[in-house]
Amino acid sequence: MREERFHEPHKQGLERLTGDNTGLVYCNERTEFEPQEDGTERKVYVYEVYEVSDSRNPRKVKNDVIEGAHPFGDEIKILRKTLAKVLKETGRYDLPDFTEFRAYNEFAESV
């Protein structure tokens, strides 16, 4: 992942590169202000940019970008912890419908 800055908004999403199947994915737009020589500030648009080796399959592109942002499988951990928190806060964690999830979550937390 790298950051790119533009003085005008850039389209977010996949930008296919010519000549092969590679592409760039622009996401997580935010604005910042850069100081100018005259003492003023100029608004810039900052994007996270991920390079993908094969831009032909949109699902693979999405998976590659998520893996680039969370290379150690953090996405599953974040989802598991969030689901456990929601179930606990709503009083559903101990219901029979969630027995399998509860067992998995308690195992994962014990490791």
Same domain, 84 and 62: no
Distance CA 84, CA 105 (A): 7
What is the pLDDT, as a whole number, of residue 73? 78
Same domain, 3 and 42: yes
User: Are 57 and 79 within one domain?
Assistant: no
Is residue 42 domain-shared with residue 59, that is, in the same domain? yes
- Please write the tens of the pLDDT for every residue from 1-38: 999 999 999 999 999 998 899 999 999 999 999 999 99
3-state secondary structure of 50: strand
Contacts of 10 (CB under 8 A, 6+ apart): 4, 26, 29, 45, 47
Domain that holds residue 92: 72-111
Q: Over the stretch 57-96, which tens digit does the pLDDT of each residue have?
A: 999 999 999 988 888 878 889 999 999 999 999 999 999 9
**32 and 84: one domain?**
no
Six-digit token pair at 13? 């999403």
Give the C-alpha separation, 17 to 23, whole Å: 5
